A and B are shown apart, each in its own frame.
Chain A
């Protein structure tokens, strides 16, 4: 028991250390970039005094060490301050955008994972037959095409040449009233972006799962199960897939952080109001509070997901459970 508790304590402590390092890195990294937030406000009517006033209102005239302490306090208490560019509270900006990004990427991740896994299992099951070849080829193609290319072509084809789907945004203007109408409208708008992401994402899942299943199907205990006379489906799903499940789930958890940070291109192409573009714009615009908060959020999620992945693996990996018994 002791060793396990020690292990978790150490894991949590090291996660905290990681967060601390990332926090400090974020702070200094942005300020390393030459230029300041007033740079983008180039206007001959802004005299040097007016610029100084603006910097003062951002709190940027204080010494660096003081700024750092304010920054750490803000991050730890989740009070992120006011965005330079929009003069609105940062948490409000994040709160507006987070649902859109989650709505886009979480279903996409889920669908890619499920579709990819099913295809991977099918490929392993149909070894040497057309199924395997088809899955391998489609998986490789899915992985190789650049995302923006596929998305722009889809947009032109299915939203312009044949106007089946909307061109942009996540809702119609003005949005329809009524819960079901709203739901349908949302789904209709999200269909194309999510479909494109799934098309581009299932490939790596399919290839990985196929490799995993092939390795597992070659193990001795599978031979034993077959010798015992179990049906093929039972062997496949009941034994092989169950063994392959832990790494798959682990990878799923490790992909979760990407759900928040990975959408800049999609958001640009489909004009979605999400966090990816927000982060990019904030960094380019020297909007320290906004960029810092978004970075922090993503890092936090990554660390938590890593911990979760470890938890899952611990519960499932027989070797570690063994140690517990000793």
Chain B
């Protein structure tokens, strides 16, 4: 019943930036873009208040939020994201193999109180397996926090409690043995350790004797890989597409190192996941996503806990930010539309060192904040509707062709004309072909899965045709989201891990100018940018 209030968020969040159709975006009015590297939270806040930075993203501490909300020079923005925090269980071990225990666990965790106490209210209690910003999310009709109902369900299935309040499995006489909840340490994520403690408290109230075991993140991952755990907590940055569900819940991914960490193996779930992964078009994808999630609500291999809001702050003097329910103003579209009365230099706060400004090997979100302003892809995402928007590709067409008895997806892109690389050379279908083939040939880990099913790429004039070895609706996003690299740069590249600074050349609105490690990255306006 309380859920009625929750759903209201999506409907009532007022539009925060102008819903400018993306066609109206012009080339940037900013001449110089500085990414100032400030790692310390306090320093970031003070820098924003002192006017040394114009944009601060990913504000997490609610003491900072409170302070900034009182500051009139700064405007705060809020967006739902693709973040999802889960309580994971090891279904290979007792007592987690019992469905009723998992269902009761769902109801035993007071997500709302966690969000209030730990985040001061600035997070979304999560009741779904996909993040709130995903267009495919199906919200559960199962109930909210209800300890009484949770205990009642267990009682009806034959569970008892010992004198000390510990659960006893039906059919056994000894209470459950002590268990451990693996969690990253507070140094990595200060709030995660907090939340883990509270989850343990809830579990203990239900009767599960469990305590936290904080450990270094990569060590925790090693334990998870070895399947040596009872329960754990982890946060994921998911994406718009639901195909990551395959990696989490398909039985073939239950191998050491695979992402089916919970160990769920259900044939009907496998079937639904396969039809999701290999859906031929959007309609099939939606149907499959719904089926998968319905089954997940029954089996509950993991318990979703919360999803973080993204909160960002922008100096009021800068007008024209593009922000929506799904995106805070720290995005590339804003950079194209922000305007100031007299300033031409914009200062963006980067929270971590972007050590590796190489789109082939960069792996952290911070590196990509910089790189996504320099490099562009064939498709972009509309910040208001989350639909695909033409970018370097003017249009595209999906077909399913039959070859050799097998059904294959074929995508034909019409490449935009008049686009130039930042070094002046023209951009064309041959560059796209070169990019895709280079990524595949060099087996670059980050793009391995995106291009591994590419069978053939043909480039003619400004048309690009990609044929895959199988059928899947998600190929469009996988190819559409690749950063485009110049064929010239790729052909002279000896080692993909080392991209010299002068070869950081994209088609984006800003070009690389300078990187002073520990201090800043400077980008200059691209005078040759294709948008007028």
Contacts and interface: CB of A to CB of B under 8 A. Distances in A.
- A–B direct contact (CB < 8 Å): yes
Interface of A: 33-37, 39-42, 44-51, 53-54, 57, 82-83, 85-89, 93, 96-97, 100, 159-160, 163, 167-171, 173-175, 268-269, 271-273, 284-286
Given A87-B498, A167-B52, 14 more contacts: A33-B219, A35-B218, A40-B217, A40-B218, A42-B221, A44-B244, A47-B449, A48-B257, A85-B356, A89-B498, A96-B517, A170-B518, A173-B347, A271-B37
Contacts of B155: none
24 contacts: A34-B222, A35-B221, A35-B222, A36-B222, A39-B217, A40-B217, A42-B234, A44-B236, A48-B258, A50-B446, A54-B445, A82-B497, A82-B498, A87-B358, A96-B517, A160-B46, A168-B47, A169-B38, A173-B36, A173-B347, A268-B39, A271-B37, A273-B517, A284-B216
B68 interface: no
A167 B449 contact: no
A35 B216 contact: yes
Interface of B: 34, 36-40, 43, 46-47, 50, 52, 216-219, 221-223, 234, 236, 238, 244, 247-248, 255, 257-259, 347, 353, 355-356, 358, 361, 363, 443-446, 448-450, 497-498, 516-520, 522
Contacts of A163: 50
Given A44-B247, A88-B356, A96-B517, A53 B217 contact: no
A47 B46 CA distance: 41
Contacts of B355: 83, 85-88, 93
The 4 closest A-B pairs by CB, nearest first: A273-B518, A39-B218, A86-B355, A35-B218
A53 B50 contact: no
Among A39, A82, A269, which residue has the most Cβ atoms of chain B within 10 A? A39
A272 B218 CA distance: 26
B445 A46 contact: yes
Given A57-B445, A286-B218, A44 B518 contact: no
Contacts of B449: 45-47, 50
Nearest to B223: A34
Given A44-B247, A44-B248, A87-B358, A39 B238 contact: no
Contact of A168 (B40, B247, B448): B40
Given A49-B448, A167-B47, A168-B43, A44 B238 contact: yes
B257 A97 contact: no
Contacts of B36: 173
Nearest to A89: B498
Contacts of B221: 35, 39-40, 42
B222 A39 contact: yes
Contact of B34 (A97, A168, A174, A268): A174
A102 to B, nearest CB: 14
B448 A50 contact: yes
Contacts of A100: 518
B219 A34 contact: yes
B497 A97 contact: no
B38 A168 contact: yes
Contacts of A47: 247, 258, 448-449
B445 A96 contact: no
B34 A272 contact: no
A88 B445 CA distance: 17
Contacts of B519: 169-171, 173, 175, 273
A51 B40 CA distance: 31
Contact of A50 (B38, B46, B223, B445): B445
A153 B528 CA distance: 48
Contacts of A171: 516, 519
B184 to A, nearest CB: 10
Contacts of B356: 85-88
Given A96-B517, A174-B522, A271 B38 contact: yes
Contact of B448 (A41, A53, A85, A88): A53
A160 B45 CA distance: 11
B261 to A, nearest CB: 10
A285 B353 CA distance: 14
B443 A53 contact: yes
A85 B358 CA distance: 12
A49 B247 CA distance: 13
Contacts of B520: 173-174
A163 B49 CA distance: 12
A115 B289 CA distance: 71
Interface centre among A97, A173, A273 (most CB of B within 10 A): A173
Contacts of B518: 96-97, 100, 169-170, 271-273
B192 to A, nearest CB: 13
Nearest to B246: A44
Nearest to B238: A44
Contacts of A83: 355
A173 B519 CA distance: 8
B343 to A, nearest CB: 14
Contact of A269 (B40, B217, B244): B40
A36 B46 CA distance: 36
Given A47-B247, A50-B448, A87-B358, A167 B219 contact: no
Contacts of B497: 57, 82, 87
A167 B445 contact: no
B216 A167 contact: no
Contacts of B448: 46-47, 49-50, 53
Nearest to A285: B218
Contacts of A169: 38, 518-519
Nearest to A268: B40
A86 to B, nearest CB: 3
Contacts of A88: 355-356, 498
Nearest to B367: A86
Nearest to B34: A173
A16 to B, nearest CB: 34
A62 to B, nearest CB: 17
Nearest to A85: B355
A153 B40 CA distance: 15
Contacts of A36: 218, 222
A236 B308 CA distance: 67
Nearest to A37: B218
Contacts of B217: 39-40
A159 B42 CA distance: 12
Contacts of A41: 363
Contacts of A96: 517-518
Contacts of B50: 163, 167
Nearest to B497: A87
B445 A53 contact: yes
Contacts of B46: 159-160, 167
Contacts of A159: 46
A14 B50 CA distance: 55
A82 B219 CA distance: 23
A42 B497 CA distance: 20
A49 B236 CA distance: 20
